Amino acid sequence: MNAERVTIGSESKGDCLITVAPAASLAIEVEAGNAALVEQGIRVVASETAAAVGVTAARITVTDRGALDYVLRARVETALRSAFPEVASPDSSTG
């Protein structure tokens, strides 16, 4: 896969900053003020989103500022699709 480093989102309250970079395997890093409470949930959302998009090798860094799951999922998907343009877009199967 031809990939580049991509950053999506913001560090504003209620949002998250997602950075995706090439890697040999899937690695997820979480930075959050309340990491003990939210880290596992963020990891699950990020890994499920990567699997749904079809990306198995990337370093995903999540800087969370209180984003809800649907925001996190959208940010991760957008970052992955931007970093890995060869990943099919959601509309590509409707031909």
Q: Which two tokens stand for residue 22?
A: 């090439």
Which residue, chain included where needed, has tokens 């939210």? Answer: 38
Measuring CA to CA, which residue among 11, 15, 12, 43 is closest to residue 30?
A: 43
Domain spans of the chain?
Answer: 6-86
Measuring CA to CA, which residue among 2, 1, 55, 53 is closest to residue 26?
A: 55
Q: Which residue has the higher pLDDT, 79 or 88?
A: 79
CATH architecture, range 6-86: 2-Layer Sandwich (3.30)
Task: Indicate the pTM of the whole model.
Answer: 0.88
Q: Residue 74 pLDDT more than 90?
A: yes
Distance of alpha carbon 74 from alpha carbon 79, whole angstroms: 9
User: What pLDDT shows up at residue 90?
Assistant: 65
Q: Residue 94 pLDDT more than 50?
A: no
Q: How many CA atoms lie within 13 A of 55 on its CB side?
A: 35
